[in-house]
Structure 1
């Protein structure tokens, strides 16, 4: 077992809870076992404390970067997690890194240009699936209208 300070672990857990929500984090922690517990500690301290605690970018920007990166890499399970938890996050809490439909649209348009149309297409399908599951399906829009 690697030595990890309690402060680093607790700060990482706090960040993880703020961004992903208590339910997701509790599910992950309940799934800890002898094989994956060190991995759980690693991502909690390295990603969620060492990176998500850095002052250089706000949480919303970090989440947007996660969406673009995971879409570009085809890491759809992580992409879906951040779409879902971003849409469910409290928009009044900047630490929660909330998302809205307009932001998702922009991320996916940018992703389609820089990572390829298939990545944008799959990302769009996943985002729509999650929006529907959350009861937030976007309103219909005319294909021929210049503005949505």
Structure 2
């Protein structure tokens, strides 16, 4: 399996097929090289390294996204963190930790986003039909 294929496999496992399908379907001449780049470099080159498990990588990713104020990406990676096995209580602890090191306003925003994501996840689990 080449780096792109391996990256796509991990990207799908972490972010879910629906997100990856949407991102790749929306690729244009402008964004297709970027999609290939993040699939090969981030997902195939970094997320596949043996030094950290996916739970740990999710914790690092959440912290970095909060610190940089990347709220749209934060919502996506909160869902990924749950998919990677973090519990809601563990996510809460990560967010509390970021209040000290990233700042209270950033953690406040992260808690708001997490509450929205958690509510969406509960709704999705309760909704009948196929995923």
How does the TM-score come out when normalised to structure 1? 0.79
Paired residue secondary structure (2:36): helix
Paired residue secondary structure (2:122): coil
User: Residue in 2 aligned with 1:105?
Assistant: 92
1:134: how far off? Answer: 1.9
Contact 2:65 2:71 in 1 (8 A): yes
Query: CA offsets, 1:19-41, max 9 Å, x none?
Result: 00111110111011100000000
User: Residue in 1 aligned with 2:127?
Assistant: none
Query: CA offsets, 1:60-91, max 9 Å, x none?
Result: 1001111010001000111100112333x2xx
1:100: how far off? Answer: 1.5
Q: Which runs of 5 or more structure 2 residues have no equivalent in the other structure?
A: 124-131
Structure of greater Rg = 1
Among 67, 80, 98, the residue aligned to 2:75: 80
1:131: how far off? Answer: 1.1
Rounded Cα–Cα distance in structure 1 between residues aligned with 2:118 and 2:76: 12
Paired residue secondary structure (1:134): helix
Q: Tell me if 1:65 matches 2:60.
A: yes
Q: Alpha carbon RMSD of aligned pairs, Å?
A: 1.3
Greater share of helix residues, 1 or 2? 2
* Alignment: residue pair count: 123
